[in-house]
Amino acid sequence: MSLAGKRVAVTGAFGSLGAAVVQAALAAGAKVAAVDRADAPADAHGALAFGGVDLADTVQAKAAIDAATKALGGLDALVNIAGTFRFETLADGSADTWDLLYRVNLRTAVAASKAALAHLPDGGRIVNIGAAAALKAGAGMGAYTASKSGVMRFTEALAEELKPRGITVNALLPSIIDTPPNRRDMPKADFSKWVTPAQLANVIVFLLSDQASAITGALIPVTGRV
């Protein structure tokens, strides 16, 4: 799958999944801007790095996406990966957690996408990250799944909005991802069942490619053997 000539911005790019997507897009021939709230790592794998950006802040999001677009010489695609997780029951939790997860999981994608719309050409691409867990919430998963359900509804709405321009908007719904923090938190789990960042990145590269031009508004479970 080739992304030769494509200019791609990836948010949450210094995290576990983000780093894999940056590497896969570069390997497919894209030019990549890596945007994250975290500080830029010493090795950004050949991507242009933009650290210290809170994408939930619309002013910061616009400034970062504008700067990334300028550095790339244009923008063909945005991959919204910035996000986080909390497990919290209502009895033991805080209403503030609902605001936090809304802000980090949904508002970041909304703000970055709005900023990108000024640059994306007809036929451009947006890919979001929902969650398989958001298809039906379990105990302690209310705030997280509500925020990810928001990402999923946002994906559908924006896909419809952008159909006239041929810009596709899709979301991956991962189950638990095989990341170092998840291995630390669940040391007795069977890691071989978990979907890997590289497997998710392969699907994202496909969605960014010319071959995926007919897929939009799709919520795609990518769940390994879970």
Ligand X SMILES: NC(=O)c1ccc[n+]([C@@H]2O[C@H](COP(=O)([O-])OP(=O)(O)OC[C@H]3O[C@@H](n4cnc5c(N)ncnc54)[C@H](OP(=O)(O)O)[C@@H]3O)[C@@H](O)[C@H]2O)c1
Interface residues toward ligand X, by CB under 6 A? 11-12, 14-18, 36-38, 53-56, 81-85, 104-105, 108, 129, 131, 174, 176-177, 179, 182
Q: Please say which residue, 179 or 202, places its beta carbon nearer to ligand X.
A: 179
Q: Name the minimum Å distance from CB 35 to ligand X.
A: 7
Q: Please say which residue, 164 or 180, places its beta carbon nearer to ligand X.
A: 180
Q: Please say which residue, 150 or 174, places its beta carbon nearer to ligand X.
A: 174
Q: Burial letters for 5-24: b for 16+ Cβ neighbours within 10 Å, e otherwise? A: ebbbbbbbbbbbbbbbbbbb
Q: How does DSSP assign 177-209, residue by residue?
A: B--HHHHHH-TTS-GGGSBPHHHHHHHHHHHHS
Distances (CA, A) of 202 to 15, 86, 113, 128: 17, 27, 22, 14
The two tokens of residue 100 are: 């936090």
Q: Name the minimum Å distance from CB 101 to ligand X.
A: 9
Q: Name the minimum Å distance from CB 131 to ligand X.
A: 4
Q: Please say which residue, 59 or 163, places its beta carbon nearer to ligand X.
A: 59
Catalytic residues: 144
Residue nearest to ligand X (CB): 15
Distances (CA, A) of 71 to 34, 68, 218: 11, 5, 30
Q: Name the minimum Å distance from CB 123 to ligand X.
A: 25
